[in-house]
Amino acid sequence: MTVVLVDDAADPRLADYVRLREVSLRRLLEEEHGLFIAEGDKVIRRAADAGFEPRSFLLAPRWLDSLQDVIAHWPDKPVYVVSEELAEQVTGFHVHRGALASYKRRAPVPLTDLLTPDVRRIAIFDEIVDHTNVGAGFRAAAALGVDLVLVTPTCADPLYRRSIKVSMGTVFQVPWTRLQSWPGDLRHLQDNGYVAAAMALTDDSITLDELSGRKDEKLVLIFGTEGHGLKPNVLNQADLTVQIPMSGGVDSLNVASSAAVAFYATRP
């Protein structure tokens, strides 16, 4: 491994890890340089297992031994060893696991390449702006039988550090891509035999139990942004609107919780 001891927070070699909590800055930096950050040993391993190529590692000394097999697979990639105090200075927060890695992003996969015959359940996350909700949605999708996740052009980045961390790295496990035309791409899915079910509280919504009872062979579940939900143009194009019956005076669930319930109820 190429171990480099670093004791200066301003060292330019650590540029990938600067100010990780500043979303606007990170969006520009990560898109410009085609990278994403994995935080924690488990997430670093899952990214490596999924075949992503690292740019570098930023580790506290205690992680050198336990991550040695991952690091050894990429002997030409630098391993920056820093104190946990220095890591906090660079990143802007306490990296309690003391392990970070910068990985190269892959080129987006076209939707048409992902619609293989075995894709029966698709989730669409539309304009969800909270990275925690995106990560939790991916984790539920991985756990509950969703074959493909699609995010709309204005949805938060599934490869933002917080999304990856909350997903526990399952964002590397579930096939996904960002749609280029929305809701235009929904018509393409319908033309390929998918029933589009929009999760929304409308007067004509059927219940989730009713949707589950239909046993649609190919199903798309669409989830809207926090607070306002799905826009009228999406609802108008969907085949069905669906709601989860509530009690106790509660009108709706958090979007990630709704997704988990819907995924479980409609699993093949």
pLDDT tens digit at each of 268 positions of the chain: 689 999 999 999 999 999 998 988 898 899 889 999 999 999 999 999 999 999 999 999 999 999 999 999 999 999 999 998 999 999 998 876 789 999 999 999 999 999 999 999 999 999 999 999 999 999 999 999 999 999 999 999 999 999 999 999 999 999 999 999 999 999 999 999 999 999 998 999 999 999 999 999 999 999 999 888 999 999 999 999 999 998 887 877 899 999 999 999 999 8
pLDDT at 96 (0 to 100) = 64
CA distance 258 to 256: 5
CB contact set of 120 (below 8 Å; sequence gap of 6+): 147, 217, 218, 219, 268
Per-residue model confidence (pLDDT) at position 199? 97
Cα separations in angstroms, 162 against 18, 39, 79, 183, 224: 15, 9, 22, 27, 20
Residue 150 and residue 184 in contact, taking contact as beta carbons nearer than 8 Å: no
| Strand order across the 35-39 sheet | 2-5, 78-81, 54-59, 99-104, 35-39
Rounded to whole angstroms, the Cα distance separating 19 from 190 reads: 42
The span from the CA of 77 to the CA of 182, in Å, is 39
- The answer to pTM > 0.85 is yes
How deeply is 252 buried, as exposed, middle or buried, from its count of CB atoms within 10 A (0-12, 13-18, 19+)? middle
Q: 220 with 197: CB under 8 angstroms?
A: yes
